[in-house]
Amino acid sequence: MSEWNMSGNGLVSSIRRLIQNEESLRSSNSAASPFELLRQQMDDILGDGGIMKQVVQPGEGPPVPEDASVIMHYSGFLEYSDQAFETTLNVKHPRIMKLGRDVTLGGLELGILTMKKGEFSRFLLQPEYAYGDMGCPPFIPPHAVVLYEVHVLDFLDSGQVDEFLTLCTEEQNASPLSTFIDVVNTLRGFGNRCFNQSRFYNAKDRYKQALQLLENRKSQNAPEKETLLTALLPVYLNLSLTELRLESPQKALKYGNKALQIEQDNTKALFRCGQSAAVPPNGSGEKPFDRDINDLLKKVAMLNKDHLDKQKDMCSKMFKRFNSTEI
């Protein structure tokens, strides 16, 4: 009986301690501010408490590199406010932002460097990593702790491109061909992202940068010339389509013809030329189609039919082999 009383007393005292601790924690939490409560769920990424991070949705792949250009949605909040003092959520396609140039808030940039593609995270920034002692009147008061919610949609490692574009033409042309093509492809990738966001003027600027590099490069031998022509073809096609979107059919036709000079039976180039020639200049009342245009469109249709026939023939042979195989 005495042993039961001892063990019972010990159990009761343990339960009382747990209840007291829980009540104490609940009491302290009730006095804590929203940011303090959030802070308890976050990780200290620098070790000094200046930038706290909470991963809401993990990303994949490598983290964002330094000097990258990032496509992201973000919103900034002050404590006790459910209205963002700045946000990109009011636009469907956020612009591409260059770290260190377009993203100038030190704590936010350091936080982004810990993120991966597709990741959604929250960052709690102390004043020294945000807007400092002065704040940013009238929206950010002095000594303000701020919360940023960031969703990295995609990024491009643009450091190599930025460094390459600072070189003179002679230095660019003397660079290794592999480096040169990487820069061209990255610029075209920028253009493609802008195009997909219907930012056609921005896309055109990126494609023109790539085109200028390629046209300035003097090939030293046949293999290098072939590599440059292979890189030129999609740039011409991209520019032709972009000019169509910008309602500049004559320029679209010019780039389409340049693409045909590289590959005379290129279906996309033929179709771009047909589209370009079908647009009446300056909205005139001329007939949109003439014999040359129709010939182009017929050629496109014939090439497309030939491509489909080859696909059907290949599939037919595959099924014949499959049916003749004993399982």
Question: Which positions of the chain have pLDDT values less than 50?
Answer: 1-19, 22, 282-289, 322, 325-327
pTM strictly above 0.85: no
pLDDT in tens, 312-322: 676 666 555 54
pLDDT in tens, 103-115: 989 999 999 999 9
Cα–Cα separations (whole angstroms), residue 88 to 14, 53, 96, 223:
52, 20, 12, 46
The answer to whether 176 and 110 are in contact (CB under 8 A) is no
First to last CA, the chain: 77
In whole angstroms, what is the distance from residue 315 CA to residue 136 CA? 65
In whole angstroms, what is the distance from residue 165 CA to residue 44 CA? 37
Q: Which two tokens stand for residue 169?
A: 């033409």
Q: Which two tokens stand for residue 65?
A: 């590199």
The pLDDT of residue 287 is 46
